[in-house]
Amino acid sequence: METAPQFFRHGPGPFARLFVFALLSCLLIAEDVRFQYFPQLRQAIGVIIFPLQKIAYIPANIYDQVEEFIASFNLLEENIKLRQIYLENREQLLKLASLEAENIHLRNLLGAVQHIETKTRTKAVLAKILYTPRDPFNHKIILNKGSQHHIQLGQAVIDDKGIVGQVTQLYPWSSEVTLLTDKDHSVPVQVVRNSLRSVVSGTGKNDQLELRYLSVNTDIQRGDQLVTSGIGGVYPPGIPVATVLRIERDPTGDFAQIISTPVAGVDRNRQVLILSLIQPDSDDASEALEIESGKN
Amino acid sequence: MLQRRLKLNPERTKDDRSNKDNYFGQDVYVSASNWFIAASLVMALILNFLPLQGDILIFRPDFVAIAIAYWNINHPHKMGMSVAFGMGLLMDAGNTGILGQHALAYCVIVYLTLIFGRRLRLFNSMQQAPQVGLILLIMQTVIVLVAISGGSALPDGYYFLAAVSGTLLWAPGSFLLSMLLKQKSDPDAL
């Protein structure tokens, strides 16, 4: 079929087209912010852009390899250093085991109710940060492990010092982690000093977390350590989250304003650990903390 | 005929001098193939996805926005609004932002460049840069508005530095793209 040559080839005018597409994107925005009926849509787009992200990661990969090559010259020293750290950690682990045994024993003596079974056995998978999105509005990172590597939604992500965030979106070969500092992210925590329970929330700013709804006379001090309480079952208990930075107690208000900073290098690492929680299989193993390092 | 009269027009001579030596070249690179446009957009997406950390993130321009603006100013109607919309969706998914945020912003770029394209084409790329910077600023404002509607706080002023870096990148970027096009169909090759 031949079509007649078009002298003035244009469909609807620019404004009409903008109107249609603006309407379409407004619908999408409303769908994404409020309802989220189609999580598959985002996943499908994620699969499309994955090869592009892989290509974009090539320069960083080369940089990593060069760095590793240079680092390999002083492997011997590093090995000795790591061995020392390992021995120190080992000693602490031994202490922990004996303390745990003592704790169980004392608990039995007291006839106390056994701890509510929390998911405490963890398995860790090492993941690399693919890239940080450019948006200043949400604090998220993309990791190179996805549902094909048996990562699941809601898994906790940590580094060597503490909690980094939580897996919130899964793609086949990558996953999206919402950082502690994201405005929509909260972690149930406990103060180490007096085991006060609270929830720490992100503020959308780098290196700032907020303890909301604690009354003015709450017993909390500058420098207090906050660790996960394990309530809610997302995070295993006892992992460091933040340190209290400053407290403003305004006697006219109901709540104290408590600002804390995350312990982990939330915006600094290249590698992180994804913790998968395993239900304890038997009662007596319920309190054993076991960290197996998974394959890379 | 019309061109010659324009050239003789004394008021026009200054503008024409900058365009005179590449006047023939300009006529040639009208024929930008769809493949070339697609390749440049994919390249821009890859540049946007580069894993960067630290302070350099603030200065990173939105390469896709620049590419879309370039094609719509210099070759209008080659790349429709639907393509810009699709690119925006890809950016949103890669960016972990609200789906539709960049799609809307890129459609606004296409609209503005279609409206002002004829005027912008009168200038050379150095003179175009500040005006394109304004368009990029409008695009960023759209993104901020959508983010605020999603419950985000207002970002600090550094966020808009991306428009500044985009402005700085405009002249070299459009020079590069037009160079690549000129090589493809060089009139002297015959």
Token readout for A277 is 């929680």
0.80 surpassed by pTM:
no
CA-CA distance, A74 to B90, in Å (whole number)? 43
* Whole-number Cα distances in Å, A155 to A116, A272, B58: 21, 12, 30
Q: How far apart are CA B31 and CA B75, in angstroms?
A: 9
Over residues B98-104, the mean pLDDT reads: 91
Tell if the CB–CB gap between B93 and A138 is shorter than 8 Å: no
Other beta carbons less than 10 A from residue A73's beta carbon = 8
Which amino acid appears at position A243 of this protein? T
Asked if A288 reaches chain B (Cβ–Cβ under 8 Å), the answer is no
Are B108 and B86 within 8 A, CB to CB? no
This model of the complex carries an ipTM of 0.73
Domain residue spans in chain B?
34-189
C-alpha B138/C-alpha B126 separation (Å) is 20
The CATH classification number of B34-189 equals 1.10.1760
Of residues B95, B103, B111, nearest to A25 (C-beta):
B103
Encode pLDDT of B36-66 as tens digits: 889 999 999 999 888 776 677 778 889 999 9
Token pair belonging to A146: 């996805």
* pLDDT-derived band at B4, boundaries 50, 70, 90: very low
Measure in Å the smallest separation between the Cα of A196 and chain B Cα atoms: 30
Q: Where are the domains of chain A?
A: 14-113, 116-296
| Count of Cβ atoms closer than 10 Å to residue A18 Cβ | 20
Give residue A6's pLDDT: 56
Is the CA virtual torsion A60, A61, A64, A69 positive or negative? Answer: negative
Per-residue confidence of chain A (296 residues) as pLDDT tens digits? 445 555 565 677 888 889 999 999 999 988 888 887 777 888 888 888 888 888 888 888 898 889 888 888 888 888 999 999 999 999 888 888 888 888 888 877 776 555 544 445 567 888 888 777 777 788 888 888 888 888 888 888 988 888 999 998 888 888 889 999 888 889 999 998 888 899 999 888 878 899 888 888 888 889 899 999 888 878 888 889 999 998 988 888 888 889 999 988 877 777 888 887 655 444 444 444 444 433 33
CA distance A23 to chain B (A): 9
Q: Among B42, B56, B75, B96, which would you mutate to test the A interface (most chain A Cβ atoms within 10 Å of its Cβ)?
A: B96
Q: Quick check: B187 pLDDT over 60?
A: no
Q: Across the interface, do B49 and A52 touch by the CB < 8 Å criterion?
A: yes
Distance CA B110, CA A19 (A): 12
pLDDT for position B177: 86
CA distance A32 to chain B (A): 6
Mutant choice from A23, A25, A28, A41 vs B, greatest count of B C-beta within 10 A: A25
Tokens of A106: 């004392």
CB contact under 8 Å between A132 and B53, yes or no, is yes
Question: Which amino acid is residue A244, in one-letter code?
Answer: V
In chain A, residues with a C-beta closer than 8 Å to the C-beta of B140 are: none
Residues of B in contact with A169 (CB under 8 A): 96
> Is residue B189 over pLDDT 60?
no
Question: A169: helix, coil or strand?
Answer: strand
Q: How is residue A74 written in tokens?
A: 């002083």
Indicate whether B1 pLDDT > 90: no
Interface test with B, best of A26, A64, A137 (most B CBs within 10 A): A137
Tokens of B160: 């808009």
Q: Would you call A135 and B97 a contact, using CB atoms and an 8 Å cutoff?
A: yes
Closest-CA distance, B189 to chain A, in angstroms, reads 30
Phi, psi of B10 (to 5 degrees): -60, -30
If one counts every other C-beta atom within 10 angstroms of the C-beta of residue A38, the result is 13
From A238's Cα to the closest Cα of chain B, the distance in A is 30
HEC-encoded secondary structure of chain B: CHHHHHHHCCCCHHHHHHHHCCHHHHHHCCCCCHHHHHHHHHHHHHHHCCCCCCCHHHHCCCHHHHHHHHHHHHCCCCCCHHHHHHHHHHHHHHHCCCCCHHHHHHHHHHHHHHHHHHHHCCCCHHHHHHHHHHHHHHHHHHHHHHHHHCCCCCCCHHHHHHHHHHHHHHHHHHHHHHHHHHHHCCHHHC
Within 183-202 of A, beta carbons closer than 8 Å to B belong to: 183-184
Q: How far apart, in whole angstroms, are the C-alpha atoms of residue A170 and residue A163?
A: 19
Q: Do A131 and B81 touch (CB under 8 A)?
A: no
- Say which DSSP state A33 is in: I
Asked if B81 lies within 8 A of A21 by C-beta distance, the reply is yes
Average of per-residue pLDDT values in chain B: 79
Domain A116-296 CATH (choose: 2.40.10.340, 2.60.40.10, 3.40.718.10, 3.40.50.1700): 2.40.10.340
Judge whether residue B149 has pLDDT over 70. Answer: yes
Q: How far is Cα A123 from Cα A117, in angstroms, rounded to an integer?
A: 17
> For residues A249 and A109, is the Cβ–Cβ distance under 8 A?
no
A35 shares contact with chain B (CB less than 8 Å)? no
Query: Which chain A residues in 131-150 lie under 8 Å from chain B, judged by CB atoms?
Result: 131-138, 140, 142
Confidence category of residue B151, pLDDT binned at 50, 70, 90: confident
Tell me, yes or no, if A106 comes closer than 8 A to chain B by beta carbon. no
- Measured between CB atoms, does A33 come within 8 Å of chain B? yes
Size of interface A-B (CB pairs under 8 A): 142
Q: Which of helix, strand or coil describes residue A72?
A: helix
Instruction: Report the C-alpha gap between A258 and B26 in whole angstroms.
Output: 62
